[in-house]
Amino acid sequence: MLSISELCVILLYIYLTEINKMNYDIIIIGAGPAGLSFARSLADTNLNILMIEKSSIDQISQPAPDGREIALTHLSVKLMKELGAWSHIAPEVISPIKKAKVLNGTSPYFLNFDNDNSSLEALGYLVPNYQIRKALYEQVKNLENVEILTDVAVTDVQVGSISLSNGNKFEASLIVAADSRFSESRRKMGIAASMHDFSRVAIVSRMEHEKSHNQTAFECFHYGRTLAILPMAGNMSSAVITVSSDIANSILNMEPEQFNLHVQEQFKNRLGSMKLIGKRYSYPLVAVHAKKFVAERFALIGDAAVGMHPVTAHGFNLGLRGQDTLAKEIKAAIAKKKDIGSSIVLAKYDRKHQAITKPLYFGTNKIVELFTNDTLPAKVVRSVTLRFANHFAPIKRMITNKLTEKDQKAYLPFIKL
């Protein structure tokens, strides 16, 4: 039989344990664009939401420029407006993409996409990544039902609970991971993923140029590398050079004047003289697709679910669409007084998002394989593919319609190669 002192120790231990373990309806791991947009999507619910972010509050409230420019489809702009974030992005940093041209090797021939639909201003819109992140944070920071906990890492994830680096433990009806394509939460919950390391690096920078880009995006599939020139406001473009990892440092370490001439020559002087503005940034190209997007009381969104190769600009657009799909399933469950973390609710999200992402993920990887293959047969196929797409009207019209993503049932965002 326990003594009174022993019983008191046990009760104190239980009490202290419960103090460090708090309950929420939803815990979101990661306060990046996917996590923030998901939290904002649930603002009109009574759900008690906790966001966990390892970065500081300054880093998520005032994100620094990272060189990445996001090509948003019309559907993504619509969702951003519904979230209230679009109004927080200054109009002068939003650049409409009115045309797109795809070039192959040294050939002057190009696949051309024009905005011939008079009801649309553009095919898509280019917006700096850090501006999107800041706008989404502005919409979440004052939500009464959302608490953001920063400067802390998730050390363990189990069914309905997480443990943090500060010793705290939290429980929730549903845990949603938005912690990057290399998600530790995904791994801890036993969800496998298809991962494709392209052994390539994307080097991104801003370039000022002599001639106008006329709001045209260019993708040049050179042999051994690719170069994308994406129109920004004024005579400014985002240059994205994709090369094999072994030569990336030589380009990153070029003197600015040498780099300017390098990009200018690679682009065949189409925009006249070009000048580097600001820093160069590099990102390794690794694509990831989770085998499933859900487990027991657990779901993946954003890059944790699907991390795309940037060649078709699906990344952020898919992440935004995925969180919206999950949020709608949760709201439907609330309306029916159902358990928001039940397998039935999560299975619906998994089925819908898998149907959208799987063909795009594997299709994009095939495109990359073809247009980075420099063997003679591949060069022939590359050329034939572009000419076929350019001259077969129904195919080109279908692609153009999907590029705009004006119809939510059609999904293939603007091609940023």
Averaged pLDDT, 310-330:
90
**CB half-sphere exposure, 364, CA atoms < 13 A:** 30
CATH of domain 21-196+286-404: 3.50.50.60
Chain segment 10-36, per-residue pLDDT in tens: 555 544 444 445 699 999 999 999 999
pLDDT band at 352 (very low <50, low <70, confident <90, very high): very high
Strands (E), 184-311: 193-209, 216-222, 225-231, 236-244, 274-290, 294-295, 298-300, 306-307
Angstrom CA distances, 140 to 44, 144, 208, 237, stand at 12, 9, 34, 31
Chain segment 390-414, per-residue pLDDT in tens: 544 444 455 545 554 555 444 433 3
Chain segment 31-40, per-residue pLDDT in tens: 999 999 999 9
Alpha-carbon gap, residue 417 to 102, rounded angstroms: 8
pLDDT of 16: 45
Alpha-carbon gap, residue 124 to 378, rounded angstroms: 30
Residue 376 pLDDT exceeds 80: no
* Range with top average pLDDT, 101-115, 168-182, 218-232: 168-182
Chain segment 175-197, per-residue pLDDT in tens: 999 999 999 999 999 999 999 99
pLDDT band at 416 (very low <50, low <70, confident <90, very high): very low
Strands 110-114 and 99-104: antiparallel
Alpha-carbon gap, residue 412 to 100, rounded angstroms: 14
Three-class DSSP category at 210: coil
